Structure 1
């Protein structure tokens, strides 16, 4: 009897960070499907978007020549799908393609003088046009993508392509990226909690996470005598914003830890020591790091915008210019998130909750037969 299992080729030109975690979780959760993984390391994302497609096409052609058979392709946005499909079609390989949008280039903040940004938004657009199905990790991600395309199409005043926005919406869906909270749950209730409230930063050390706003607020609260301790976690890079060096000095008396923690178990244990996790992000397409901290027992304090409006009720969101007051109030209250509330906020985004949505999404891909 022929196997009912589907065999999907996952291609990821940027195999690292949240992209890598997503793929590992997908493979673990969807055990009734077969996957073959084709990746490139997570570096030089612009070069990946420009040149990954020809390289990936060559590898896929080699797979097919060696007897591999696939029911479809799943990829991220770091590839030019139009180029990939044309190269494969030229060799008689017609496979349906699904794209998972962890992010979209239309919503990234960029400098007005950076004209190169348009080629990457264009690749996102044409890739979406050429794909069979699209999934976004949040409605914020999808809506900013589609609104970005509307603005983009207005630049071509002599051609009317506005109907394409609706076409893209019709073949899209929104599915949380899936999170595995079991390593946090396995640690049980944290017992090593300081008596003072602990503020957590567990985001990438990059400008788009807006660390200047976060640390400037803490500088002011510290000068006013606020009693808090601080965990500065998150992935670091060679050229991190200067504010981190200033914070290490000016907030030294508050620091419990300062720096990236690669060991996930140790990282989760540190999160369990936290009381409040703060985001000051300029853009956020989902918010995995905040959800991890909430699962570990931290109260979230996030902007009243971006994808956070989908993740957290208004009581956990602050409006513009409210960060200092809201954070100061939480420090004064020094209340831990209850386990019941923590799970209620995070479980809807777990793999156990969303896994079936991925099975349905991928199974809807239909392989095209060539006569």
Structure 2
């Protein structure tokens, strides 16, 4: 739609991954919107300079009533450079927050990124987080974060100024029916949702599953298939993931492995070091450009594993659950908010023990029936809330 006629202005300074997924959903389903994006490269520079970029390249639109952007954008700078946008309803969406984003040493944390997010909240009209964990960790960290200022510190109630604007609106997943890609044992073990919906497919959909003997007939000969569908970066803790896989191999356990996810400029060395050690177990190694190919691998897998030290929502894990995988995730971060305790592990030793058990008896993962209503994350459920948020 031409900017002159659009009522909602959508801005994404890091147009990739989940940021891209959300903006594409909003663009496709809002009646009157105009979207402007910057490619997802060099995140730190996008956070520093995207406000100037947008101020020079977004044309004026007299019909604009709402501005929606992710927290990568310095909203303060944008509205200062473009006074015509200052009067809009300004909605700031947090995919992540820089106050608790993991760094190897706290002195490595660049103060400016978190500070910019705090300032953006102060000028926004609505501040929206993709999980309660994201919101609570951000608000509870503001006071200690601002204490890093050596003198002339701001008043102590900055978090209280922001809190009334805040709400949680889960990231919406656009999940189509994928049962056509399921292996036979997933169909026989009850891992199909209602055929007339696009909700996440889990066994709790009707509370039933086939008998263990019927499942085993199709699945007992196939080794456990583990998928790790995350960015190849240190905050996803690939060191823990790959060291665990090597231990399974050293114990002589039989399993298959798919290591998916995007790579960026600096790939942790552990991937290259462990690849030869795991060669006999690897089915897929590296990012799959085709969405169909990616979903197909998830549908063939049995267990989706997270070893993240940073996760504010977890799109990749939920997509894998939609494809019939059993999730194994840390008992921390956002995961207790989303999954039941049976899917969570507290220590690397517990993770190894669970995977060892699944390798020895793959049907224990394949016959799962999650008692969790993950359909609440679907676009069908959340669409109305987003449309209400972006109304003027």
Q: TM-score, normalised by structure 1?
A: 0.88
Alignment-derived partner of residue 54 in structure 1: 52
Q: 2:225·2:302 contact (CA, 8 Å) conserved in 1? A: yes
Partner of 2:377: 349
Give per-residue Cα distances to partners, 1:127-166, cap 9 Å, x unaligned: 1111010110111111111122121233467656232212
Alignment deviations for residues 209-259 of structure 1 (CA, whole Å, 9 cap, x no partner) = 101101111111111111211111111234311111222211111111212
Q: 2:389 & 2:294 partners in 1: Cα distance?
A: 33
Could you tell me how far apart the structure 2 residues matched to 1:85 and 1:26 are?
22
Change (3 A) 1:345 1:263: farther
The correspondence of residues 75-154 of structure 1 with structure 2, limited to 5 A, is 75-89=69-83, 94-112=87-105, 114=107, 117-154=110-147
Query: 2:223 matched to 1:196?
Result: yes
**CA apart distance, 1:314:** 0.5
The answer to whether the 8 A contact 1:153-1:161 is kept is no
Any conservation in 1 of the 2:174–2:378 contact (CA below 8 Å)?
Answer: yes
**Structure 1 residue 173: Cα displacement:** 0.7
Segment drifting more, 245-254 vs 294-303: 245-254
Q: Secondary structure at the match of 2:223?
A: coil
* Residue matched to 1:288: 315
Shift of 1:56: 1.3
Q: Does 1:268 align with 2:262?
A: no
Task: Measure the CA separation in 2 of the matches of 1:327 and 1:272.
Answer: 19
How far apart, CA to CA, are the structure 2 residues paired with 1:6 and 1:102? 25
* CA deviation string 1:2-58 (max 9, x = no partner): xxx972000111111110011112233x34x31100111111222222221122123
Question: Which residue matches 1:15?
Answer: 15
Task: State the Cα distance separating 1:262 from its structure 2 match.
Answer: 0.9
For the Cα contact (< 8 Å) 2:69–2:91, is it kept in 1? yes
Which among 30, 41, 50 is matched to residue 43 of structure 1?
Answer: 41
Compared CA separation, residues 92 and 305, structure 1 to 2 (3 A):
closer
For residues 71-119 of structure 1, give each alpha carbon's deviation from its aligned partner in whole angstroms, at most 9, with x where no partner exists. Answer: 1100001111111112222x58621210110011111112437556101
- Residue from 140, 162, 168 that aligns with 1:168: 162
TM (norm. structure 2) is: 0.83
**Secondary structure in 1 aligned to 2:248?**
helix
Corresponding residue of 2:204? none
- Which of the numbers 322, 329, 334 marks the counterpart of 1:302? 329
Corresponding residue of 2:244: 217
Q: Does 1:314 align with 2:308?
A: no
Cα separation, partners in 2 of 1:111 and 1:199, compared to 1, 3 Å:
closer
Let me know the Cα RMSD of the aligned residues.
2.3
**Secondary structure class of the residue paired with 1:26:** helix
Report if the CA contact (8 A) 1:110-1:117 is conserved. Answer: no
Q: Does 1:63 align with 2:32?
A: no
Match of residue 279 from structure 1: 306
Q: How much does 1:191 deviate? A: 3.9
SS of the aligned residue for 1:353 comes to helix
Runs of 5+ in structure 2 lacking a partner? 186-218
- Going from structure 1 to structure 2, the CA distance change for 1:116 and 1:201 (only over 3 Å counts) comes to closer
Q: 1:92 to 1:100 in 2, by over 3 A?
A: closer
SS in 1 for 2:319: helix
Relative to 1, partners in 2 of residues 1:92 and 1:50: Cα closer, same or farther, differing over 3 Å?
A: closer
| CA distance in structure 2 between the aligned counterparts of 1:222 and 1:345, rounded to whole angstroms | 34
Change (3 A) 1:106 1:246: same
Alpha-carbon deviation of 1:181? 1.1
Q: CA deviation at 1:330?
A: 2.2
User: What are the Cα deviations for residues 259-315 of structure 1, in whole angstroms up to 9, with x where unaligned?
Assistant: 211101111111111111110001101101111111111100000000111110000
Aligned length: 351
Runs of 5+ in structure 1 lacking a partner? 366-371
Deviates most, 306-315 or 188-197: 188-197
